[in-house]
Structure 1
Amino acid sequence: MIIAFAVPGEPKGKARPRTVQIAGHASTYTPKETVMYENLVRLYYQQAARGLRLSGPIQAEIVSYSSVPKSTSKKKRALMLDIKTLCQKKPDVDNLAKIVLDSLNKIAYDDDAQVCRLLVEKRYGETPQVLVRLSELEP
């Protein structure tokens, strides 16, 4: 089984949990931007999967398309969009994978530990988005 979907908008990475002191007690929370992006990933997965869940070992392919900076020359922009220049700006690929895989826990699969093969790429694109393709691997 293969489930593929796109998450529109600039790619986001998983932010570290924040800790604050309240009346002498430490309290940890997930930043609001991370929670909102995880909810967005879940929404687009649920629309694509229509109730289906993956089982067994899983392969995940995540390709992020970031917008080209406005100050880029036309020549350099063309190269960036033709995938001759790889995207080296934030988010880091590990944080990008983490936010996508963590957000799909208990929704697309029982646990993201089932992901046995992972491909993550960062590119530039006309339309900023993250493309996700999940597939079950043969055991």
Structure 2
Amino acid sequence: MTAISEFTLLLPGDPVPKGRPRVYRGHAVTPKRTVQAENRLEAEFRRKYPQTAPYQCPVRLDAEFWMSHKGRPDLDNLLKLVLDGLNGVAYLDDKQVVETHAFKRVPDPWAYGAHGRYRKRKSGDPYTSCGHEYEPHLYVRVRPLPEWTPTV
């Protein structure tokens, strides 16, 4: 197995939040969309880092969620999916994640129009954040924190 100083992943497309499990006849069932998104994240990790062992020390996780729409989902549900999706592959267990930094970007409400003025954003306009174009995606970085010690 190979030791890597940090893991990075970029998944194109709209980030997916962790869905609430539904209970059927006393059994909790994870929504199919959540399972597919977690499997996609794990598969991409294994494709990019095939011979890598998960970190066994405390880690920091950075996540950027570049969305195609405003409003839902909440940042915490987006982050939960990443934490669970990388369980067992980037780190042994998500309890090792002792530090996080996450942000969610949504498209600007205004777009630059053909007449040189800003107008309300319409369907089909490019996605922009602070005037800079982007495509919806998820970016994740996981770094070990071997010097980390808990404070009492």
TM-score (norm 1): 0.77
8 Å CA contact retained: 1:64, 1:122:
yes
* Highest RCO, 1 vs 2 (Cα 8 Å, sep ≥ 6): 1
RMSD (CA atoms): 1.4
Deviation at 1:48, TM superposition (A): 2.3
Q: How does 1:27-42 map to 2 (within 5 A)?
A: 27-42=27-42
Larger Rg: 2
Map of 1:12 onto structure 2: 16
- In the alignment, what sits opposite 2:63? 62
Cα pair 2:63 2:139 within 8 Å, conserved: yes
CA deviation vs aligned residue, 1:19-55 (integer Å, no higher than 9, x gap): 013xxxx121100000000001111111222332222
SS at match of 2:135: coil
Q: Which amino acid aligns with 2:19?
A: A
The 1-side partners of 2:51 and 2:74 are apart by: 30
- Give 1:78's aligned residue: none
Displacement after TM superposition at 1:137 (Å): 1.0
2:98 is aligned with what amino acid? C
- SS of 1:102's equivalent in the other structure is helix
User: Match for 1:137: what amino acid?
Assistant: L
SS of match in other structure, 2:62: strand
Q: TM (normalized to structure 2)?
A: 0.71
Deviation of the 1:109 alpha carbon: 1.1
Distance 1:15 1:112 in 2: 18
Give the count of matched residue pairs.
Answer: 116
- Tell me the residue number matched to 1:98: 80
What is the CA–CA distance in structure 1 between the aligned matches of 2:37 and 2:29, rounded to whole Å?
15
**Does the CA-based 8 Å contact 1:60-1:119 persist in structure 2?**
yes
What amino acid does structure 2 have at the position aligned with 1:98?
A: K
Q: Which of structure 1's runs of 4+ aligned residues deviate more than 6 A?
A: none
Counterpart CA distance in 2 for 1:63 and 1:55 is 24
2:105 counterpart SS class: strand
Displacement after TM superposition at 1:5 (Å):
0.8
State the identity as a percent. 34
How far the C-alpha of 1:138 sits from its partner, in A, is: 2.7
